Amino acid sequence: MNPAKTLMWHLSPQVMLDLVEGARPDGAVPHLRTCERCRWQLEELRETVAAARTGQEIPEPSPLFWDHLSARVREAVAADTHPPRAWVSGISWRRSALVGGVIGLVIVVGARGGVCHLADAVR
């Protein structure tokens, strides 16, 4: 199987917007003929833009909504009992020993004259 044939790139937001605004015809984008996902996203975007252009007034939420939202956010933050974890606390002693060993090996190899060549190792 050819991996180049199975790899699919979807349309960028800019191309989608060009199609919705009519700057590009759908036929100019061959990908739309084969990709159901992009066709669906394009149709959803067209419906959203059409609804926004109708000028329908969107009602403001109730003033109580903002009070309730603020209270729920405060409660969620207060309920989060996990203290922030320092990046150093995630490093185990084994990992530190491994890093130290690798650094020591690099120093020893460097002190002995650098990297050996494969041709020298074969001889």
Domain ranges of the chain: 10-53
How many angstroms separate the CA atoms of 45 and 30, rounded?
A: 18
Closest among 15, 45, 11 to 31, alpha carbons compared: 11
45-74 mean pLDDT: 85
- The candidate with the shortest Cα–Cα distance to 19, out of 49, 61, 63, is 49
The answer to whether residues 24 and 32 touch, using CB atoms and an 8 Å cutoff, is no
For the entire predicted model, the pTM comes to 0.41
Contact 74, 49 (CB under 8 A): no
Kindly state the tokens that stand for 15. Answer: 């191309």
User: What's the pLDDT score for residue 6?
Assistant: 55
Query: Could you tell me which residue, 30 or 108, shows the higher pLDDT?
Result: 30
